[in-house]
Chain A
Amino acid sequence: MSEFLAMGGYGAYVWTSYALFFIVLAADAIAPLRERRRALRDLQGRMKRQAMRKPA
């Protein structure tokens, strides 16, 4: 196992590369989820304000 992690002495370079690949793509995957939630929340707020302005 430790031999596998050492990667023939190149462990630091190999594992940093793979970690970076994962971190950047995970951040990229989360961004649209947050963006969509924010867009819906903004619109809900706007609709609520519009409904309050108009007498029912």
Chain B
Amino acid sequence: MNPLVLWFHRLGSPPYFYRFAGRLLPWMYVLALTSGVIGLYGGLAVAPPDYQQGESFRIIYVHVPSAWMGLFGYMFMAVNGFIALVWRIKLSETLAMAAAPVGAAFTFITLVTGSLWGKPMWGTWWTWDARLTSELVLLFLYVGVIGLYHAIEDARQAARAAAFLALIGIVNLPIVHYSVTWWNTLHQAQTVNLLGKSKISADMLWPLLTLAFATHVYFFASVLARSRAALLTLESGKEWVRALAAPQPSGVETAHV
């Protein structure tokens, strides 16, 4: 078999995944933190103030990357949920359920920072604009998935039920994304365009893209860390987990656990 395919199969085995993710995690946290600090410095100190919004526009540097991660996290959760439902891969169930709280956290940040920007700029904390409403629905979908997962006793059945809910909720993603074009309400249309030309000056754009990179790395780090913790509970009857929990022979460090 192709070595890459072989490696992918091995990654699906919980003990291998646990060790692999454990080795990767410190580097991911370091990468996310350094790029995050560079991006925040750029956004707060280097980028010039907006000619209309003044300094308040700097809120976009936490608002927009979080909004992207809210959508990306949902997509990641739904794709893994789909794999879990169709091919019954245990690790996909775990990854899907690990993504839900992270995506929910980013969506929550999006809503609150948007509100903090809306008060001085629009003159209101909240309005039932299409983008705002669909983003709130996104948060409710995340909360629904998390709630359903915790409401069912059997963890594997719970993950499949929650994955099914996540798949239904996917109809909300295009609504969030296109709401600013479909309905002409308050929220501004997108200015950053991955394929075409962005309508934002370069010294304002690079901190935003750096932070988008940082939040992506952070998202995956958090999903891996949550999956590792979840696997310990899900596989607590298995030999590899019992070996991790067993008291270490003297002289052996427990740091690698």
List the interface of chain A (C-beta within 8 A of B).
4, 7-10, 13-14, 16-18, 20-21, 24-25, 27-29, 31-33, 35-36, 39-40, 42-44, 46-47
Contact with B226, one of A10, A13, A31, A43 (Cβ below 8 angstroms):
A31
**A33 touching B225 by the CB < 8 A rule?**
yes
Q: Which residues of A contact B244 (CB under 8 A)?
A: 40
* Cβ contact within 8 Å between A35 and B226: yes
Cβ of B45 under 8 Å from chain A: yes
Chain B proximity of A34: nearest CB distance (Å) = 8
Instruction: Classify chain B's interface size.
Output: 35 or more
Can you sample 28 A-B contacts with CB below 8 Å? A4-B45, A8-B49, A8-B55, A9-B55, A10-B56, A10-B120, A13-B59, A13-B117, A13-B119, A13-B120, A16-B116, A17-B59, A17-B113, A17-B116, A20-B109, A27-B105, A29-B29, A31-B226, A32-B225, A32-B229, A36-B225, A36-B232, A39-B233, A42-B233, A43-B236, A43-B242, A46-B236, A47-B245
Inter-subunit contact B116/A13 (CB<8 Å) = yes
Q: Is B148 an interface residue (CB 8 A)?
A: no
Within B79-122, the residues touching A (CB, 8 Å) are 101-102, 105, 108-109, 112-113, 116-117, 119-120
In the complex the two chains form, what is the Cα distance from A14 to B247 in whole Å? 49
Note all chain A residues with C-beta closer than 8 A to B226. 31-32, 35
Partner of A35, one of B40, B109, B229: B229
Pairwise interchain contact B228-A10, C-beta atoms closer than 8 A: no
A24 surroundings in chain B (CB, below 8 A): 105, 108-109
Q: Which residues of chain B are near A4, meaning CB under 8 Å?
A: 45
Kindly identify which residue among B62, B102, B222, B229 contacts A36, using a CB–CB cutoff of 8 Å: B229
CB nearest neighbor in B for A34 = B229
> In the complex, what residue of chain A is closest to B65 when comparing beta carbons?
A21
Q: Which residues of A contact B105 (CB under 8 A)?
A: 24-25, 27-28
Closest A residue by C-beta to B53? A10
Does B242 contact A47, Cβ atoms closer than 8 Å?
A: yes
Residues of chain B with a CB closer than 8 A to A32's CB? 222, 225-226, 228-229
Residue of A nearest to B105 (CB): A28
The answer for the CA separation of A54 and B150 in the assembled complex, in Å, is 33
Residues of B within 8 A of A8 (CB): 49, 54-56
Residues of A within 8 A of B230 (CB): 35
Per-residue CB proximity of B24-61 to A under 8 Å, as 1/0? 00000100000000001000110001000011101100
Closest Cβ of chain A: how far from B102's Cβ, in Å?
6
- A16 to B58: give the CA distance in the assembly, Å: 12
Look across to chain B and name the residue whose beta carbon is closest to the beta carbon of A18.
Answer: B62
In the bound complex, CA of A4 to CA of B41 (Å): 12
Chain A nearest CB from B243 CB (Å) reads 11
